[in-house]
Amino acid sequence: MRAASPNGVLNRFEGVSHWQTWALQEWAKRPLEEWVTHPQEEYRSAVAMNPYAPTHLLEGLTNDQSEFVRICLVRNPSLPLHALETLVRDPHWQVREELAKNHRTPIHILEELSNDVESNVRELIAGAANVPVHVLRKLSQDADLNVRKRVPTNTHAPIELLQQMAEDDDEHTRASVAASEHTPLHLLRQLSQDASDRVRIALVGNPRTPVDLLELLFQGASSQVRWHFAVSRSTPSHILEALCTDPDEEVRGGLLENDNLPRSIYGLLSKDPDLNIRFQIARQQKTPSDLLAQLTQDPEDEVRGAAIANPNVPLDGLELSAADASVHIRQSVAENPNTPVYLLERLSKDDAASVRRAVARHRNTPAEVLEHLSQDGVEWVREAVAGHQNAPTTARLRLDA
């Protein structure tokens, strides 16, 4: 028997190899019975993935020696449900894992897999949409932390089970309830009284935790909890502003990892007493241009240089810095990707070789400036010209000579 058509099959499966692609293209030419006995697994896996393959051929592949073939078989939407039962005790854990992920897997198989020796299989069962409640109750007591943590994320976990887990002696279990977006508000409020920092941190990171609870958690919070406030996208702006004056430098630095900072926080951090924090603000491309302009006047060269090299710094900041007394600052101007040609031309005559080399490497440096720099007295400046894609032919010939 031949396959009906392989069209559209490839995009239904992940990880299709070149061998499988070729095999799929051959389906219309050769009988599938020849493929299932082929010594190479790529041929047999092509049949295992074929939704048009006869049932008896798919059933025969449940005993295939290759776990990859059996994994492909589990993914096949045409595999009869009774055939899935033969794979529930498969010796290879990835086959059983594939069963646990398959939305077609019957409930009685999910129940059996909830006893699997591999914790990652049990973890997948804990998150399965159609897993029975009594199985979730059992998995909430699992010896593996990751399995227990998965239970509160299941939308079908009953409130009484979440309540039970919220009162568990193990702080990791309570924290998993605090972190779940499916936990009801009254349990979040209950957990806000928890003495464990792990639970408090989970509440801080939960986008459903209301502002009044966050304010309560912020009062008297440890530096570890405050750091999680700093990095959380859900932290309200007034708490973020309070963190800008936190006595712990690491907490203030955590704000720089938050990709949801309001403009006011950038302004406060740009005046931070710690050099490293101002340096990081100067480097960030999200920093408003007017703040970058202010940072170009910072007393520390390291901060000024970072602001000047930032692509979003205003042009007047580049113009003023091009004549700065510091070599580091002038080099930062030459390294800014948006430095205009007229400033690059001026800096190509700079006394410092490091500045001229930066000009020779800049993408916008015109050919006539590269021609001039190809005759520079410093070898590493000339080498930079040789590697520039816009270097004129005359310059290349001179440098190759």
Q: What is the pLDDT of residues 341-359, one digit of tens each?
A: 999 999 999 999 999 999 9
Q: Which of 364, 368, 338 is nearest to 349 (CA)?
A: 368
Nearest to 227 by CA among 240, 215, 208: 240
Contact 88, 99 (CB under 8 A): yes
DSSP per residue, 69-105 = HHHHHHH-TTS-HHHHHTTTT-SSHHHHHHHHH-TTS
Residue 209 has what DSSP assignment? S
Domain spans, the chain: 1-105, 340-401
pLDDT of the residue at 353: 95
- Of the candidates 177, 263, 270, 204, which has an alpha carbon nearest to the alpha carbon of residue 252? 270
In the predicted model, what is the mean pLDDT of the chain?
A: 90
Distance CA 39, CA 60 (A): 15
User: Can you tell me the distance from the alpha carbon of 115 to that of 17, in angstroms, rounded to the nearest whole number?
Assistant: 33
pLDDT tens digits for range 193-217: 999 999 999 999 999 999 999 999 9
**Is the pLDDT confidence value at 183 over 70?**
yes
| Mean pLDDT, range 179-202, rounded to an integer | 96
CB of 197 within 8 A of CB of 222? Answer: yes
pLDDT band at 22 (very low <50, low <70, confident <90, very high): low
What does pTM read for this prediction? 0.79
Q: Which residue has the tokens 């190809």?
A: 374
Q: How far apart are the first and last CA of the chain?
A: 70
In whole angstroms, what is the distance from residue 287 CA to residue 279 CA? 11
- Write the DSSP symbol of residue 167: T
Instruction: Mark 64-99 as b/e (b = at least 16 C-beta within 10 Å).
Output: bebbbbbbbbbbbeebeeebbbebbebeebbbbbbb
